[in-house]
A and B are shown apart, each in its own frame.
Chain A
């Protein structure tokens, strides 16, 4: 992409008007990025709705939150935080690699991201199955004996980390698709907005975890 893209875009407009009627050949990296950011805002507010609930119930049931949070494994939470931070860093490093026309290195970084995503999900799997084994799940035997605040805490815990996990999976599919396109040279050093957009998505998922982690695992 040339540096003065604004001018280029307008020239495209003028030329295309004569040429391909009925086709939408038009590249606007900036517009693409703006669309992605707006989409990220909807994700922020999607989780935002749950953060409102989280905050409200933390206010109502502050003591029960402390009791319930003790059940969560800070160790796994910390490991998962580090995994996600590393994966996020790998994505930007991948972009730099692609800019420097180093396709192999770029794909290597993205493979690392994928591995991190998978590792995160594996940890999550063990964490969840362990709790379910103990009977701590909605309508589960152990949860039925707990106080109302604890029930709500674990309800939120499952929904929020579950939805976050879902976003990790979507992000992995997104990045996987981008990797195929890089492999086929459809995304190159001068046309990589799609990679950036996938990166933005992945970073947002990371940011949400940055908040989920202290809010669920670090209450004492």
Chain B
């Protein structure tokens, strides 16, 4: 049950060249353009959702490529999941109070 055993792929990430990172950068720029232009359109209650979804996609790109999570040992993915789940829980449970509070 050695959950963080890691093998030869430890530094596989570094086999990448400049190209892929530049590509990711352009992807991020495109997403920024989308989020700014979409903000001008009135989507009602969807506005926040769209903004957050785009921000999440951008974060995934940065984490997976710039921060090498995609190529690192799986234990980091588990760690990140734990961190995100706990943060989401904090927000979620706080809202059980806010939404149902009688004014």
Q: Are A and B close enough to touch in the complex, i.e. CB under 8 Å?
A: yes
Q: How many residues of B contact A (CB 8 A)?
A: 50
Point out which of B22, B87, B90, B98 has the most chain A C-beta atoms below 10 A from its C-beta. B87
Q: Find out whether the CB atom of B32 lies under 8 angstroms from the CB atom of A52.
A: no
Contact of B32 among A1, A44, A59, A78 (CB under 8 A): A78
* Chain B positions within 8 Å of A89 at CB level: 21-22, 24-25, 28, 66
Q: Find out whether the CB atom of B6 lies under 8 angstroms from the CB atom of A91.
A: no
User: Which label, helix, strand, loop or mixed, suits the secondary structure of the B interface?
Assistant: helix
Interface residue? A38 (CB, 8 A): yes
* Chain A positions within 8 Å of B18 at CB level: 93, 96
Q: Find out whether the CB atom of B98 lies under 8 angstroms from the CB atom of A56.
A: yes
Binds B, one of A117-125, A161-169, A212-220: A212-220
* Chain A positions within 8 Å of B95 at CB level: 55-56, 59
A82-B29 in contact given A6-B6, A38-B79, A220-B47 (Cβ < 8 Å): yes
The contact string, 1 if C-beta is below 8 Å from chain A, for chain B 38-63, is 01101000010001101100110011
CB closest chain-A residue, reference B68: A196
Q: Find out whether the CB atom of B98 lies under 8 angstroms from the CB atom of A3.
A: no
* Chain B positions within 8 Å of A38 at CB level: 79
* Chain A positions within 8 Å of B99 at CB level: 59
Interface residue? A37 (CB, 8 A): yes
Q: Nearest Cβ distance between residue A78 and chain B, in whole angstroms?
A: 5
Interface residues of A in 1-39 (CB under 8 A from B): 1, 3-6, 30, 33-34, 37-38
Contact of A199 among B17, B47, B66 (CB under 8 A): B66
How many interface residues does chain A have, given as a range?
Answer: 35 or more
Contact of A91 among B16, B55, B66 (CB under 8 A): B66
A59-B75 Cα distance, complex, nearest whole Å: 35
* Chain A positions within 8 Å of B51 at CB level: 214-215, 218
A93-B42 Cα distance, complex, nearest whole Å: 38
Spell out B's residues near A (CB within 8 Å).
5-8, 10-11, 14, 16-18, 21-22, 24-25, 28-29, 32, 35-36, 39-40, 42, 47, 51-52, 54-55, 58-59, 62-63, 65-68, 72-73, 75-76, 79-80, 83, 86-87, 90-91, 94-95, 98-99
10 closest residue pairs by CB, A with B: A214-B51, A218-B39, A89-B25, A41-B83, A3-B8, A92-B21, A85-B28, A48-B87, A203-B66, A210-B58
Q: List 28 A-B contacts (CB under 8 A).
A: A3-B8, A3-B11, A4-B8, A5-B10, A6-B6, A30-B73, A51-B91, A52-B91, A52-B94, A55-B94, A56-B95, A60-B98, A74-B36, A81-B32, A82-B32, A85-B28, A86-B25, A89-B25, A89-B28, A92-B21, A93-B21, A96-B14, A99-B14, A206-B62, A207-B63, A210-B59, A210-B62, A214-B51
